[in-house]
Amino acid sequence: MLKTKAMRILDQKKILYEVLEYPHEEGVFLAGEEVAKLLGINPDYLFKTIVTVASSKKYYVFVIPVMAEINLKKCAKAIGEKALDLIHVKNLTDITGYVRGGCSPIGMKKQFPTFIDETAKALEFMIFSAGKIGYQIKMHPNDLVQLINASFLDLKD
């Protein structure tokens, strides 16, 4: 089985997780709703990873439900920044080491401050990218928070 950097980190730390695979075309990004359908799961359990840059030039990562929209003003205020912008897709690989549709909060080139939408707290598991299009990681939200030193915040609109 294919092992991504995120999976190898979880294995090394002996953190319980499951890999979910969905049919995909190499390098082709699919929207979260489509990924949930392909996996046959409730989209409430599926999260996307969003990388932003603040007016201070610092990078921040937000993990939110795939069906939600991020509220950048609300997020900036919550983390004490004046403003946040989404990074340009063409810069994603240089900054994180990942591609659009395959960006995991685990195993980026550098561990940026990461915030997970508070709705994940109530879930017995959450699902997010394993670091490659076509592969998802299913694990307990608290394990993810501890692994990457993240915090729960209200991130959605």
Q: Kindly report the pTM of this predicted structure.
A: 0.93
**CATH number of the domain enclosing 127:** 3.90.960.10
Q: 136-151, pLDDT tens digit by residue?
A: 999 999 999 999 999 9
Question: Structural domain of residue 77, as residue ranges?
Answer: 5-153
Write the DSSP assignment of 64-132 as a string of letters. EETTS-B-HHHHHHHHT-S-EEEPPGGGHHHHHS--TT---SSS-SS---EEEEGGGGG-S-EEEE-SS
Query: 112-133 pLDDT, tens per residue?
Result: 999 999 999 999 999 999 999 8
Distance CA 65, CA 86 (A): 16
pLDDT < 50 stretches in the chain: none
Can you give the pLDDT at residue 14?
A: 97
Query: Nearest CA to 7 among 95, 115, 131, 125?
Result: 131
Q: Please give the tally of structural domains in the chain.
A: 1
